[in-house]
Amino acid sequence: MVKVDEILPKYWYNIIPDLPKPLPPPRDPQEAEFSRIDLLRRILPKEVLRQQFTIERYIKIPEEVRDRYISIGRPTPLFRAKRLEEMLDTPARIYFKFEGATPTGSHKINTAIPQAYFAKDEGIEHLVTETGAGQWGTAVALAASMYNMKSTIFMVKVSYEQKPMRRSIMQLYGANVYASPTNFTEYGRKILEANPNHPGSLGIAMSEAIEYALKNEFRYLVGSVLDVVILHQSIIGQETIAQLDMIGEEADLVIGCVGGGSNFGGFSYPFIGHKRASKYIAVGSAEIPKFSKGEYRYDFPDSAGLLPLVKMITLGKDYVPPPIYAGGLRYHGVAPTLSLLMKEGIVEWREYNEKEIFEAAKLFMQAQGIVPAPESAHAIKAVIDEALAAKKMKEKKVIVFNLSGHGLLDLSNYESMMKRWAKNGQ
Amino acid sequence: MGNKLLVVYMTLGYPNVEQFMEFITESARYADVFELGIPPKYAKYDGPVIRKSYDRVKGIQVWNILGETRKKVDIPIIALTYLDDWISQLDLFLDNLKGIGIDGVLFPDLLIDYVDDFEKYDKIIKSKGIKDVIFTSPSVPDNLIQKASKITDIFLYYGIRPTTGIPIPVSTRQLISRVRNLVQSRLIVGFGLSNELDLREALSSRADGVAIGTIFIEEIDKNGIKSALEVVKKIRGILDEY
């Protein structure tokens, strides 16, 4: 029997020292009424902040964190998508890492656990964050309860009303979930005064969460984009490499979808840093065309403009994304390390539209049975394209991708996709 | 004096020209190098304290004060300013520095915003007889640290925090020991060294010296020039223990 220790790593992997060029540092805006970098210092757990600015290649995972990783079912399984290969009639071998196997249904829990642990370790009893669709809030709610802490989640009001199941999960984990804008913060009260029926936004929810954490001396947790989040997610790629080694496979192609970049980074960076594959493909949504239309420049990582500016590929913090089916991909930017790797040509990109990913998701479900998160279905579409290309070239490529989450809580999205296309006669 | 270098940073003309001159002439007894900040259009990589100091001296006679300072002190003077601000008239800027006897220049944005062309700019700076002090940080990859340490003049500046003056928790020892063996020139550590412990950790990790600025400005604001000079003296004392 394979032991957990042979797969679950003891260290997080940090790609920064292995980047081809220096990572441009975060900075404060020109006319800053306050320092965003200093704000980070006041809201993040100390160790999280230290890890954000570290250059060490390997950082030890505390035993207390590894224990929790094990108790949520890590290492997650690596499957061979044999039936998908058959349906595509491809000589390529396709493997996928299934992050949907965690209790919260996505990779988000991988960073929520250590962030909660480091907060607890410095004597904090209460965690705060914001959530849009709910994946991140769910992960924080569970992580808090795993360390006997309280949590408060500011959930964008429109999601709070439209995604009652996500809200219920967080509440069952013991979180206080509020529809943002709320009356608990000055910022929220101001918004409500102007418009009592304000539907809320991620920026507003985040501003409320930060204000609430600051005022009460709680700690605020960040779900994506920051280097420290990708650092924690590096367990995905490291586990995958260990699992491939066990079956004697070497990856040629590594594929993942990109919201902010944390699942893609966590999955692919260990491959990139250790040169364990030859091609990397980041997949986004054609409806949020940040790869094809984004600019590489300094921008706020959050629409509220409360975090320091970082250099990244961005559509602009004020970009209003269309209300697409894959909420996790609606983010306006690409994590700074991933932006740099894309600029340097190390990571390639693809963008697919709703119809394409819907077909891919359906095919994958019929082949493998798993309902993929609509975000992850973008990666699947790229995998299918690459497998068909391999068929044409008669190449026995090994394709490995990250199935970052399951889609069982996104069935209403799939339902509306089906209806939409039926109407269009497709 | 011991072997460790004390690089004293001060914003040019802060808090006013008269007191600035007093601070510089007095602290020259303890400092090895002066680093004088010319107020930039956008202090991209500076923290809130230094930014505020720039705001307060906006509109000063940069060249006059630099010239006066040169006449008053003998130790090397490095002008700290952003390449962004001077790139369109770089030759003129460097000629002016040379003309009044400023020793070197440090552009914190050189390896960040101009990384693809930094060797070209290094050549231009040196061709004007000005020393090029290169700024690096932990996110600079090994090979680039090595390259920079070979071409930098006077010392290699290594800023261990993402910005000046904010005590972001970092592993000072690890950050320094990583680059120590890559760097052949003198290694000066700065950015956010704000307490004695941090300072001592930097020195015992084989840094050749430290660059300090924010604490002097904070001390001037709180207790005035005399008290800030006491802090310079105290830091000199700590350096001399190593």
Model pLDDT for residues A163-188, shown as the tens digit of each residue: 899 999 999 999 999 999 999 999 99
Q: How far apart are CA A298 and CA A25, in angstroms?
A: 10
Whether residue B208 lies in the annotated active site: no
Span of A77-86, A228-237, A256-265, B195-204 with lowest mean pLDDT: B195-204
Taking the alpha carbons of A199, A202, A203, A207 in that order, is the dihedral positive or negative?
A: positive
Q: What is the pLDDT of residue A174?
A: 98
Q: State the average pLDDT over residues A293-311.
A: 94
Contact list in A for residue B141 (CB cut-off 8 A) is 17-22
Using a CB–CB cut-off of 8 Å, the residues of B that contact A are 41-42, 44-45, 47-48, 51, 111-113, 115, 137-142, 144, 161-163, 166-171, 174-175, 178
Half-sphere exposure of A313 (CA within 13 A, CB side): 24
Is A25 in contact with B137 (Cβ distance < 8 A)? Answer: yes
* Closest chain B CA to residue A19: B141
Q: Which residues in chain A have Cβ-Cβ distances shorter than 8 Å to B111?
A: 22
User: What pLDDT does residue A143 have?
Assistant: 98
Distance from CA of B165 to the nearest CA of A (A): 9
**Residue A324 pLDDT grade (very low, low, confident, very high; cuts 50, 70, 90):** confident
3-state secondary structure at position B34: strand
Residue type (1 letter), A263: N
pLDDT band at A301 (very low <50, low <70, confident <90, very high): very high
Chain-chain contact of A37 with B178 (C-beta, under 8 angstroms): no
Gap between the Cα atoms of A27 and B47, Å rounded: 9
Predicted confidence (pLDDT) at residue A426 exceeds the cutoff of 50 = no
| Active-site residue flag, B35 | yes
Among B48, B141, B171, beta carbon nearest to A54: B171
The model's pTM: 0.93
Closest partner residue to A26 (CB to CB) among B48, B162, B170 is: B162
Whole-number percent of chain A with pLDDT over 70: 98
B158 contact residues in A (CB cutoff 8 A):
none
Are A281 and A350 in contact by the 8 Å Cβ rule? The answer is yes
Cβ contact, residue pair A50, B47, below 8 Å: no
Q: What is the structure's pLDDT at A303?
A: 85
Sequence-distant (≥ 6) Cβ neighbours of residue A369 within 8 angstroms: none
Which residue in the set B45, B48, B170 is minimally distant from A53, CB to CB? B170
Kindly indicate the confidence band of residue A425, based on its pLDDT and cuts at 50, 70 and 90.
very low
Long-range contacts of A362-367 (CB under 8 A, 24+ apart): A363/A84, A363/A87, A364/A81, A364/A84, A366/A87, A367/A81, A367/A83, A367/A84, A367/A86, A367/A87
> Cα B216 vs. chain centroid, distance in angstroms?
13
Identity of the residue in B163, B170, B178 whose CB atom sits nearest the CB atom of A27:
B163
Mean pLDDT, to the nearest integer, of A221-242? 96
- How far apart CA A228 and CA A262 sit, in angstroms, is 9
User: Given an 8 Å threshold on Cβ–Cβ distance, is A41 in contact with B168?
Assistant: yes
With b meaning 16 or more CB within 10 Å and e meaning fewer, what string describes A29-61? eeebeebbbbbbeebbbbbbbbbbbbbbeebeb
Interface touch B163/A37, C-beta < 8 Å: yes
CB contact under 8 A, A38 and B47: yes
Alpha-carbon distance B9 to B164, whole Å?
Answer: 11
| A35/chain B closest Cα distance in angstroms | 6
Q: Show residues of chain B in contact with A18, CB under 8 Å.
A: 141
Give the CA distances from residue B92 to residues A191, B99, B133, in Å, rounded to whole numbers and listed in that order: 52, 10, 19
How many residues are listed for chain A in this entry? 426
Residue ranges, chain B, pLDDT below 70: 1-2
Of the candidates B65, B38, B49, which has an alpha carbon nearest to the alpha carbon of residue B222? B49
In the prediction, which pLDDT does A83 show? 98
pLDDT of A323 reads: 75
β-strand pairing of A295-299 with A310-314: antiparallel
Q: Which of B18, B26, B32, B46 is catalytic?
A: B46
Biggest CA-to-CA distance, chain B:
45
What Cα–Cα distance (Å) separates residue B181 from each residue in A53, A83, A230, B148, B186?
21, 53, 28, 13, 11
The alpha carbon of residue A366 is apart from the nearest alpha carbon of chain B, in Å, by: 45
Query: Amino acid letter at B1?
Result: M
pLDDT in the model for residue A31: 84
